[in-house]
Structure 1
Amino acid sequence: MKYQTRKKALILLADGTIFYGKAVGGKEGSAFGEVCFNTGMTGYQEIFTDPSYFGQLMVTTNAHIGNYGTHKDEVESEGIKIAGLICRNFSYHYSRPAADDSLESFLDQHNLLAISDVDTRALVSYIRDNGAMNAVISTEVDNIDGLKEQLAKVPDMKGLELASKVSTKAPYFFGKEDATYKVSALDIGIKKNILRNLAERDCYIKVFPYNTSFEELQAFQPDGYFLSNGPGDPEPLNEVIATTKKIIESGAPLFGICLGHQILALANGISTYKMHHGHRGINHPIMNLLTGKGEITSQNHGFAINREEAEAHPEIEITHLHLNDKTAAGIRMRNKPVFSVQYHPEASPGPHDASYLFDDFLKNIKSHKLQTA
């Protein structure tokens, strides 16, 4: 086995609890962030590159990570977005013929600290009981007091604005310029597969920085607007919320996913809150209240919208419920072509359970074009 004398490592939680492991490869140092876990059996490369995970230490519950390597096309953004990786068994060798690199090499290229040989079942159980919290992973196992001091200075996820850290710095285009429909997408942490899904439906997308004004979005003369997924607390995103209000007032079609779902709620005066430990995995059950059908979904969020406020809102209808805890997983406006979901239809764990949401967005666009022609 590679790295027979790997360095000892630890996970120090904000409440002082410690779990031990070993550093992956030869990398040393420390990484800070909010510790969370994902229950997916596959898709680790997509998880690591998902902007929604920016600033988080990822615990993978699947026992083996790295066994199918990496592939250059299986990324959701430019580079790794998680702050660090925690796993049980790290596979230095991979067996998938289609892979073009090992996970170890992929992590090294992006300078990411990872630790393995951790009792991840115990760690995940602890997070489920005590909630997601800040933590540090480190090879400085003899510097507990120093790590505690550094960890105490890391800001809590509640109230933390992170969209600006992952959003594009300048507008860019995606899809075919001669496509039938045009979409202005606000990037608050957008995933590449969302853009692929829109492009496959004959859309030409212009992706804008998170703080773009409505007037700039409108100047593209889009047929519809899109609010992306993303990391952090939605409440500090005042500019995005204000822009969303103007999109709604315009009467144009609007579709939001994940953080975009929370922004849409806030734009309608519905509050959000930090969840105990969030939803992160590819097997979350959702009930579509409009059709009565169930969906297996991919989820990645630590915040949720206030269901009671959504139910009491005269202009809002809850369209989807998470069956595990009955949180609101989808809403739509009653008199406008505006809707959103908390989960990730582009991740396709079903694999096609939620793809209709992109089709619904296109139906709204086509209908609106006919009405305004």
Structure 2
Amino acid sequence: MTQEHANKGGFETRAIHAGYEPDPTTGAVNPPIYASSTYKQDGVGGLRGGYEYSRSANPTRTALEGALAAVESGERGFAFASGLAAEDTLLRSLTRPGDHLVIPDDAYGGTFRLVDKVAKPWGVEHTPAPISDLDKVAAAIEPGRTRLVWVETPTNPLLNIGDIEALATIAHDAGALLVVDNTFASPYLQQPLTLGADVVVHSTTKYVGGHSDVVGGALVVRDLELADRIGFHQNAMGAVAGPFDAYLTHRGLKTLAVRMDRHCDNAERIVDFLCAHPAVGDVIYPGLETHPGHHVAGKQMKRFGGMISFRVRAGEQKALDVCAATEVFTLGESLGGVESLIEHPGRMTHASVAGTELEVPGDLIRLSVGIETVEDLIDDLDRALG
């Protein structure tokens, strides 16, 4: 299939075919792992296909970046060594000392650490705001200084929902860009660039890779001038995805659609179980009609995802005990793999925000629902909660 046809196809077709055509010599249907740091030039400056050094470009990474752009309906994609490497490159590309950001008031702990402990000492300040409250986001913007409105939707770990289209309008009216971390939703469930966002961020370690066997990150943009700025910094800073990591991530992307459907199916069943369990207090899931962001999520997401957070009635120690007691759910950080994970955000993924305005409740548990037999997952949670 030609790239022209691949890019015009449906999501599943783009995920499988975009970014690479079968090798003209061998017919190989998957991109080879080009384990080469440098490339023979046909004379000084005579590059074959634009390749000179693998920090600047590598064919395996090029295939992944093309596929990422296609599934996010963007013009260019960029693959990095981690999600935070992608975020750091973005911040260095688009901000300077004296600039200002708006971030979620329940941002991922790693993002908060990067913004607060790295960007802030560099001179870039930030204001947290609840991304579901448009008035408060607008009030957090500092005219003439705010360069980026940075949102996650759903957020990590409280699963708040931001209206991407409305947030884009607010950001653009203030002369800022809208950055959307689309990691929790994945490109299959949500397309921020089509709703007005300027940059999409991913930890491809999560749903895109999907198998807990590779660490990576990505940026996707729709504006080519913006792409040139990011591309320059990607090369200059050098935190790129290696060829084997790019290969694994690209392989995972090809099955994203079928995996996400199963993640969502299982999550919906587990939400029903948790809502009926006497040891469980609040169940936080955008698919619930009681969720304050349910309507917006239904408008901009295909389905409601595989992430669930809930609070136990007996307090923090009970939450810790539940996390330690599961057997099918693995106690571990990260998310989005085929296996189900359970974690205590306050002591694990969000320990970096303890004592700040972004601190999460101690009785909160976060689930990354995998694709196992759902009855086994429900039985496991029932034993742990009991």
Structure holding more helix per residue: 2
Higher RCO, Cα 8 Å, sep 6+ = 2
Same fold, judged at TM 0.5 (above): no
TM-score range, shorter chain: under 0.3
